[in-house]
């Protein structure tokens, strides 16, 4: 039942997300083409067999919703795709100046960025709730501890940017981590500490960011009681039973379920000493942590479930929001920062400094869409904004078949004063198709690997 419930959330969320963002992208092409008096023959959301269609009053443009909701297109009058009546030649796309063609093609990804700004703006106006970045127990081997951060410290800004939530702290640290540069954290007691990311090897994946930095929340103390032990799991082999209370791991007190998870998840294959309390008696058990591949990372598990996990108290949360007008520059800033981050991440993948396992496809998008819907409107707006700006960035890549490939040809035409030859465009088209097929194959492979794991 749970699987079906998730399916009925994930599927509509995915279809809505793709349909909305594709519609926005294609509307950019459509609207500018209309404004520049280029005739639009068809506006299609999706590919394949039409499910719904109607014709508009202006130019008899056909509007289509097709069966495969993984893209869309705007078909314009063009002599290269069919005969054009003499009296309509001036409205054919191929007859327009290079600057008009550039504007029409650029409008698609540009509107994706505009929508991302709008989604972030609305998110900030509604308000963003998150956990306060107040530190709990820190690993002495982590960057956080070695840089001088201690339990109880409250991070208020990173490189001058206010960080009201732990999520906002990580967003600022992520950019510095990718650049391998030092970053300054300001604490509520006015102390300032430096994280020196330039000392971290470039081969270390971004998926290891949380583990390397080692930030942890200050959690309320509660007993960690085991309700279920998976048969044949490392915990079962070690002798842990339902009803046992976890007291410590390797001498470090475990006062919350999240602390147990943190002590295990980053140590697959290691042997640990678990102290438990059973029937009023304490005993110590050696346990070798199991491993599970999740995405591009191997994580540790011992095979236990908690009796209960209390929700975090309200005092740990904060809500920050902006006024209607002050949220506008915040939305623009957020879109710019994440767009730059996306470009840097793609660049690191191209030069081999980041794994291609970071590339995601439609299955991952569908899963995240469903999760963000369940988490609330703020989370879903953030998701829509990130996917929209990602579409904008990807479509601007100078790859033939994408908008960026066409824009590259138009820029060359502006410089040399004549169009790129048909032969060069045909070669570019074949290269573009090959690259896109490879990209989609990698994305789908990664999706299925994550799904199976």
The catalytic residue positions are 26
CB 133 within 8 A of CB 167: no
**Token output for 199:** 């000392």
Angle at the Cα of 363 (from 386 to 380), degrees rounded to 5?
35
Cα 281 to Cα 239, 247, 248, 251, 310: the distances in Å are: 14, 11, 14, 17, 25
Looking at residue 412, what DSSP letter applies? H
Three-class DSSP labels, 126-168:
HCEEEECCEECCCCCCCHHHHCCCCCCCEEEEECCEECCCHHH
Element (H, E) at 292: strand 290-294
Pair 38, 76: CB distance under 8 Å: yes
Q: Are 383 and 119 in contact (CB under 8 A)?
A: no
Side-chain half-sphere exposure of 48, counting CA atoms within 13 A: 8
Distances (CA, A) of 299 to 88, 144, 260, 275, 356: 63, 21, 14, 22, 19
Q: How many angstroms separate the CA atoms of 412 and 420, rounded?
A: 7
Cα separation, 346 vs 354, in Å, equals 8
Name the strand (E) or helix (H) holding 287. Answer: strand 281-288
CB of 281 closer than 8 Å to CB of 294: no
Q: Give Cα separations from 41 to 55, 56, 61, 65, 73 (angstroms).
A: 10, 10, 5, 14, 11
What is the distance between the alpha carbons of residues 414 and 407, in angstroms, rounded to a whole number?
10
Instruction: Give me the residue label for tokens 């300054």.
Output: 184
**223: which DSSP letter?**
-
Pull the structure tokens for residue 3: 């699987």
């Amino acid at each position: 039942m749970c699987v079906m419930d998730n399916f009925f959330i994930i599927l509509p969320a995915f279809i809505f997300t793709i349909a909305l963002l594709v519609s926005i992208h294609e509307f950019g092409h459509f609207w500018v083409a209309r404004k520049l008096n280029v005739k639009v023959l068809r506006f299609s959301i999706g590919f394949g067999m039409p499910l719904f269609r109607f014709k508009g009053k202006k130019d008899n443009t056909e509007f289509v919703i097709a069966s495969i909701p993984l893209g869309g297109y705007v078909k314009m009058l063009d002599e290269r795709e069919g005969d054009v009546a003499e009296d309509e030649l001036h409205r054919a796309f191929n007859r327009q100046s290079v600057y008009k063609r550039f504007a029409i093609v650029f409008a698609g990804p540009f509107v994706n960025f505009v929508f991302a700004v709008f989604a972030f703006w609305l998110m900030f106006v509604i308000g963003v709730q998150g956990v306060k970045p107040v530190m709990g127990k820190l690993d002495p081997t982590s960057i956080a501890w070695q840089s001088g951060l201690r339990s109880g410290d409250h991070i208020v800004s990173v490189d001058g940017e206010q960080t009201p939530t732990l999520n906002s702290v990580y967003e600022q640290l992520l950019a510095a981590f990718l650049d391998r540069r030092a970053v300054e954290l300001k604490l509520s007691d006015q102390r300032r500490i430096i994280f020196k990311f330039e000392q971290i090897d470039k081969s270390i994946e971004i998926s290891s960011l949380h583990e390397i930095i080692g930030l942890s929340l200050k959690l309320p103390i509660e007993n960690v009681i085991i309700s279920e032990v998976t048969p044949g799991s490392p915990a079962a082999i070690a002798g842990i039973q339902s009803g046992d209370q976890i007291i410590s791991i390797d001498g470090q007190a475990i006062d919350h379920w999240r602390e147990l998870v943190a002590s295990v998840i980053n140590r697959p294959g290691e042997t640990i000493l678990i102290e438990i309390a059973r029937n009023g008696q304490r005993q110590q058990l050696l346990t070798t942590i199991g491993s599970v591949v999740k995405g591009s990372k191997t994580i540790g598990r011992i095979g236990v479930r908690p009796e209960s996990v209390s929700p975090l108290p309200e005092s740990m949360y904060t809500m920050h929001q902006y006024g209607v007008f002050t949220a506008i520059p915040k939305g623009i800033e957020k879109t710019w920062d994440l767009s730059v981050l996306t470009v840097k991440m793609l660049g690191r993948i191209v030069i081999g400094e980041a794994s291609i396992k970071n590339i995601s496809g439609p299955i991952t998008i569908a899963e995240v869409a469903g999760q963000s819907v369940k988490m609330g409107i703020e989370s879903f707006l953030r998701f829509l904004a990130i996917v929209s700006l990602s579409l904008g960035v990807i479509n601007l890549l100078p790859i033939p078949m994408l908008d960026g490939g066409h824009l590259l040809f138009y820029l060359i035409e502006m410089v040399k004063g004549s169009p790129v030859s048909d032969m060069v465009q045909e070669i570019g088209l074949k290269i573009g198709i090959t690259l896109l097929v490879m990209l989609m194959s990698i994305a789908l492979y990664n999706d299925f690997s994550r799904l199976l794991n």
